[in-house]
Structure 1
Amino acid sequence: MRRAKSAKTLRHEATNVLEEFGVRKPPVPVEKIATSLGARLKYSPFDGELAGMLIRGDEGTVIGVNSLHHINRQRFTIAHECGHLLLHKGKDVHIDRSFRVNKRDEKSSQAVDPEEIEANRFAAELLMPYDMIVKELVDYHIDIEDEEQLKELADKYQVSVQALTHRITNVLDDLF
């Protein structure tokens, strides 16, 4: 099994997308980015823990998003699938005709498959850009143990507190 691309490489990929779309402040317009990359967004209630999927076919690319999930989780799913769209060819699945499908589900969040690790890291880099998070930490002296501060910042970026906390922890690890 191959190793996942480095965090630095994925940061560069996400930064390129942010620059291409002129994103300078949160929240990142992930839906607009996905559609501009050529994907159609389709919101549907999925069974179980399935958060989303990327389907590439003859008629274009579709990002399926679980409409039952919280809007912040939906945004992360879209960013995750954009990661697959930009970074991976996908996996062949045969249903009437050939499709390449990537799913975001419980397994994808376990950080085992290199493509899933990359898509998750790309999503974090896209929704919570490194430079923006560093600026928040420096300018506003964010205390990662202050739940109210974290909630306000998560709302600003339209991500979950859990995703933000994980992101801040990774950024701090990079800085120190």
Structure 2
Amino acid sequence: MHNDGTSHTSKRDTSSSLGLDEKEIEANTFAANLLMPQDEVLRLAGNKYTLDSMASYFGVSSLAMEYRLNKLGVDVYV
């Protein structure tokens, strides 16, 4: 509910957050590549940075960082 008494209904398609929409998957992959470049991720991972420290370094959530590491086939250090 907004301060003016009106409500807002989200128009976001729930399939996008489930990873079912091809364009959404492509956009998320592009964003991950842009925000967490492969070379830099691999450099930090090679230096045994933790998941949380890498997430902080890149300014992303731990979940996003974990997803990126998994996609790159990198073991996650907690």
TM-score (normalised: structure 2): 0.70
Q: Of the candidates 92, 97, 111, which is equivalent to residue 19 of structure 2? A: 111
Match of 1:162 among 49, 63, 78: 63
Gap change, CA 1:112 and 1:128, over 3 Å in 2: same
Where does structure 2 lack aligned partners over 5 or more consecutive residues? 1-7
Percent identity between matched residues is 34
Please show how residues 96-135 of structure 1 align to structure 2 within 5 Å: 106-135=14-43
* CA offset digits 1:89-136 (Å, max 9, x no partner): xxxxxxxxxxxxxx6x64212121211110011111111111111111
Distance 1:129 1:169 in 2: 14
The residue that corresponds to 1:141 in the other structure is 48
Question: 3-state DSSP class of the match of 1:172?
Answer: coil
Q: Which runs of 4+ in 1 moved over 6 A?
A: none
CA contact (8 A) 1:49 1:106 kept: no
Change (3 A) 1:117 1:135: same
- Could you report, residue by residue, the CA deviation over 1:43-74 in whole angstroms, capped at 9, with x for unpaired residues? xxxx5667xxxxxxxxxxxxxxxxxxxxxxxx
RMSD over aligned Cα atoms: 2.2
Q: Secondary structure at the residue paired with 2:72?
A: helix
Structure 2: distance between partners of 1:118 and 1:152: 26
Gap regions ≥5 residues in structure 1: 1-46, 51-102, 143-148
